[in-house]
Amino acid sequence: MSTTRREFLKDAAVGTAGLAVADSLSPWAAAAASKYGHYVHNLVYKKGTGGPGCADYITRMNGKDLNDRETNFAFGYYSKVGAWDTSDPGGHTHPFDECLVFAGLEPKDPNYLGAEVEISLGQENEKYVINIPSIVCVPKGLPHGSIVTKKVEKPFAHYSIGLAADYKAAKVAARSAAPSSSNKYAHLIKKMSATGMPGQTKVGPGNADWLSWPKSKDLEGFIVNFTWGFYTGLGNWHNIPGFDPHVHEGDEFLVYVGLDPQNPNQLNAEITQMLGKEEEPHDIKAPLVIVCPAMFTHAPIITKKVDKAYGFFLIRRDTGVNYSPPKKKSA
């Protein structure tokens, strides 16, 4: 039986990865030995610090952790009442635009947050309460925080997306003593359900059961688009002829996370992600992020096993108007 070039490269990549695993106790040694393994990064969780309402577990990735890209993000699980950071009662500013995402962990009820969280915005110290899955768009230089969890029924997730390589924050010296009664900054808070797609027609059996996908136009014009979704299906995520592999105009970060806040290192699924024009396979069995630089060929993504529903979000550094750059017409 003949073997195509693509099949040969796949077999070679699998064989190399297998040898690497045999030679090391660490599953990440296989990724390091492959051509594109340097784009695959394990999520390392730590217990939160700072205040009574701080994260149970949190991971942070700066640009240096993401192949020197101009993006940083953090992801954490929260279940406690109180201020997230008592050392920062007056809030802070960033020299970059930022999106703060408050997401529930209930796959069967994606519009349920399970908590009430108060956030202060602006020099006027306007206070807003978030009790459904929401996004807060924070333009660079805008004072924000503190963040205080007022009530928790069930643990929830929070992730921040900073549009710069390095996370930098400057504490605010003084803000209005009393919170403003106006709604000057209300437009910065977006409901995730506004871009949610319940009961969506899947483009592949392994794709999301429910997905929220705000684009730049939904995010105050920030040059970013991202998702939050729940996944239980098996098979190809994009079961469309000619769709995969593909590229994007901006850097993309593919983040796989579990939904059990007490066991953040468990994904409870097995997925294979292809990277590069060679479609080099990388097995995903634990929470991690895969970096796909602008115009880097990637996919298909194939889910092979799911023990429990898991979460996935992508961060892409373009407007999201085009899924992939328009193909040039041949002369």
Strand, coil or helix: 240: coil
pLDDT above 80 for 9: no
pLDDT above 80 for 114: yes
Q: Which residue has the higher pLDDT, 194 or 117?
A: 117
pLDDT above 90 for 13: no
**What's the mean pLDDT when you consider all of the chain?**
88
Sign of CA dihedral 186, 187, 192, 193: positive
Q: Using an 8 Å Cβ cutoff, are 135 and 225 in contact?
A: no
Instruction: Give the mean model confidence (pLDDT) for residues 153-176.
Output: 93
CATH fold label, 57-192: Jelly Rolls (2.60.120)
pTM of the model: 0.88
Q: Which range, of 45-49, 303-307, 322-326, averages the lowest pLDDT? A: 322-326
Determine the Cα–Cα distance for residues 112 and 134; give it in Å rounded to an integer. 10
Report the number of secondary-structure helices (H) and strands (E) in the chain. Answer: 2, 23
Q: Which residue has the higher pLDDT, 260 or 3?
A: 260
Same fold: 5-42+194-316 with 57-192:
yes
Q: Which residue has the higher pLDDT, 287 or 87?
A: 287
Q: How confident is the model at residue 33 (pLDDT cuts 50, 70, 90)?
A: low
pLDDT above 50 for 169: yes
The DSSP secondary structure of 68-98, one letter per residue, reads T-S-EEEEEEE---EES-TT-TT-EE-SS-E
Question: Looking at beta carbons, which pairs linking 60-64 to residues 24 or more positions away fall under 8 Å?
Answer: 60/167, 61/289, 62/165, 62/166, 62/167, 63/164, 63/165, 63/166, 64/165, 64/166
pLDDT tens sequence across 52-83: 999 999 999 999 999 999 999 999 999 999 99
Residue 17: predicted pLDDT: 38
pLDDT above 70 for 5: no
Residue 203: predicted pLDDT: 86
pLDDT above 60 for 282: yes
Question: Three-state secondary structure along 46-66?
Answer: ECCCCCCCCCCEEEEECHHHC
Per-residue tokens: 161: 């997306």
Please name the residues in contact with 164: beta carbons below 8 A apart, sequence gap of 6 or more.
63, 70, 71, 72, 94, 95, 96
Residue 327: predicted pLDDT: 65
Q: How confident is the model at residue 181 (pLDDT cuts 50, 70, 90)?
A: confident
Residue 182: predicted pLDDT: 83
Sign of CA dihedral 227, 231, 234, 239: negative
Determine the Cα–Cα distance for residues 272 and 283; give it in Å rounded to an integer. 5
Domain boundaries, the chain: 5-42+194-316, 57-192
Instruction: Give the mean model confidence (pLDDT) for residues 296-324.
Output: 96
Q: Which residue has the higher pLDDT, 34 or 62?
A: 62
Dihedral Cα 185, 191, 195, 198, nearest 10 deg = 180
CATH fold label, 5-42+194-316: Jelly Rolls (2.60.120)
Instruction: Give the mean model confidence (pLDDT) for residues 166-175.
Output: 89
Residue 3: predicted pLDDT: 33
pLDDT above 50 for 287: yes
Per-residue tokens: 162: 């900073």
Determine the Cα–Cα distance for residues 124 and 186; give it in Å rounded to an integer. 13
